[in-house]
Amino acid sequence: MQKSQAETIFKYFSKIIVLTALMIVLLWLLYKVAHILLLFTLAIVFALIINAPVSWLEKKKKMKRGLASFIVFSIIFAIMFIIGWLVLPKIFEQLSTLLIGLPDNITHLTSTISGWFSNYPDISTEISRNGSDITQWLPSAPKLFNQARNYTAILLGGFFLFILFTCIVGYAVAKPRPLLEIYYSFFDIEKREKAQIALLHTSKMLIGWIRANLIAGSIEAVLSTIFLSIMNVPGAWVWGALALVAELIPNLGFYLMAIPPILVAFSISPLTALWVLVFYIVVSEIMSNFVMPRLLASKMNIHPVSTLFMLLMMGSAFGLIGALLTVPVTAIIKAFYEAFYKINHEKDHLLDKRIDTVIYQSTS
């Protein structure tokens, strides 16, 4: 009897140890492939967005899905090619000009800053001495070679990932039925209607997200082009074009897009760079706090606090890809929460009153 109990206990603990080991291995594997899973998630997000025009062509124009997918992807790649052909050479040209004039700009800046501290000779001398040796600001030749080699490897790897990403999106759009069958297989039959509602809601919100980005990006692009042209910053329309995609990274994208024009403006004068910096800060704050929340509220009905919270989490955990996925992940969470777990307001007739009580600190 005791032997039988000992064997039972041994088998029980053995199962616990094996399951724990498997869980550790699974978590380690997920940690290693986290960015691949994020890339796959981003591909599915784009597939849901691109599915809308493809399905429209298939349903309204009676096209075969393969042909409709080919047309939509051809239009997307044509737009990307035209933008790249027009914008990238200008970006390289402006950055080359900036790098060539960098030593003179640094000398000018250090002289200006040194003049600000003319009443403090020790500080002024130290700034002039450190700024005069331009070579200390520049990397050595071997370091430049290693950096160029590393950047080449990164570019090749990025190109390979782009091809895989495009293939995933293309296959998901052209042949969605097998993927949807897998999706529905995760749910019991009685819950598949809710799963359908959640996916439909997610798709509608993602399409609304793209529309909101296009509207806000167009506003930012026009304002940036006009202001930079007035300030005589070279390549104004190029930097304006970059602003079109700024809102894909909420709250931070416009600041990131501001870096190149600020550097180019710095090649003109520090004062011009300062005005450009102020312009981008003002426009970004207005768009982030007033325009985009209203656009997202009308298209997606997502509270700005939810977006900012997810931006902090996704950006901190997964970097740029996580930041790009901020709004889509928020939309997915919201859609599934509302489909499966949202409390029916009809069950609590006093819900609005309870909310007002908390807001206005009133018990009446």
Q: Are 271 and 234 in contact (CB under 8 A)?
A: no
CA distance 54 to 44: 15
Which pLDDT score, from 0 to 100, does residue 1 have? 52
Question: Residues with Cβ < 8 Å from 136, sequence gap 6 or more?
Answer: 130
DSSP code per residue over 174-218: HS-HHHHHHHHHTS-GGGHHHHHHHHHHHHHHHHHHHHHHHHHHH
pLDDT digits (tens, 9 = 90+) for 12-66: 777 888 888 888 888 788 777 777 888 888 899 999 999 999 999 998 888 999 9
Of residues 86 and 182, more confidence is placed in 182
Place of tokens 């909310």: 355
Query: What is the Cα–Cα distance from 162 to 348, expressed in whole angstroms?
Result: 49
- The model's pLDDT over 281-332, given as tens digits with 9 standing for 90+, comes to 998 888 877 787 777 777 677 777 777 788 788 888 888 778 788 888 888 8
Mean pLDDT lowest among 84-88, 121-125, 184-188: 121-125
Residue 160's pLDDT is what?
Answer: 85
Is residue 202 within 8 Å of 46, Cβ to Cβ? no
Give CA–CA dist 309/326, Å, rounded. 9
What is the per-residue pLDDT for 180?
92
Q: Residue 3's pLDDT is what? A: 57
pLDDT of residue 226: 93
Whose tokens are 């090619």? That residue is: 81
Q: pLDDT for 225-273, tens place per residue?
A: 999 999 998 888 888 888 887 777 766 777 878 888 888 887 777 788 8
Instruction: Report CA-CA distances (Å) from 106 to 132, 221, 228, 257.
Output: 8, 29, 22, 22
- What is the pLDDT confidence band of residue 70, given thresholds at 50, 70 and 90? very high
pLDDT of residue 53: 93
Q: Helices in the chain by DSSP H: which ranges?
A: 2-32, 34-60, 65-100, 102-116, 121-132, 141-174, 177-185, 192-230, 236-242, 253-268, 270-286, 292-299, 304-324, 326-340, 351-360
Q: CA-to-CA distance for 61 and 79, rounded, in angstroms?
A: 22
Q: Are 293 and 302 in contact (CB under 8 A)?
A: no
Instruction: Say how far apart CA 257 and CA 236 lie, in whole Å.
Output: 12
pLDDT of 339 > 70? The answer is: yes
Specify the pLDDT at position 47.
93
Is a pLDDT exceeding 90 seen at residue 68?
yes
Report pLDDT for 46: 92
Q: In this predicted structure, what is the pLDDT of residue 104?
A: 66
Give this prediction's pTM.
0.74
- Give the mean pLDDT of 122-137: 55
CA-CA-CA-CA torsion sign (279, 283, 286, 288): negative
Q: Which distant-in-sequence residues (6+ apart) come within 8 Å of 235 by Cβ?
A: 90, 91, 93, 94, 228, 261, 264
pLDDT at 114: 63
Give the pLDDT score at 248. Answer: 72
The answer, yes or no, to whether residue 335 has pLDDT greater than 70, is yes
- Encode pLDDT of 187-231 as tens digits: 999 899 999 999 999 999 898 888 888 888 889 889 999 999 999
Enumerate the domain spans of the chain: 1-32, 191-345
Structure token digits, residue 121: 């000779």
Q: pLDDT band at 123, cuts 50/70/90?
A: low
3-state SS, residue 140: coil
Quickly tell me which residue has 């130290």 as its tokens: 126
Q: What is the mean pLDDT of residues 118-139?
A: 56
In whole angstroms, give the CA distance from residue 183 to residue 325: 20
Q: Please list, in sequence order, all residues whose beta carbon lies within 8 angstroms of the beta carbon of residue 52, skipping any fewer than 6 positions away.
A: 203, 207
pLDDT one-digit tens code per residue, 159-199:
888 898 999 999 999 999 999 999 999 999 989 999 999 99
Count the neighbouring beta carbons within 10 Å of the beta carbon of residue 99. 12
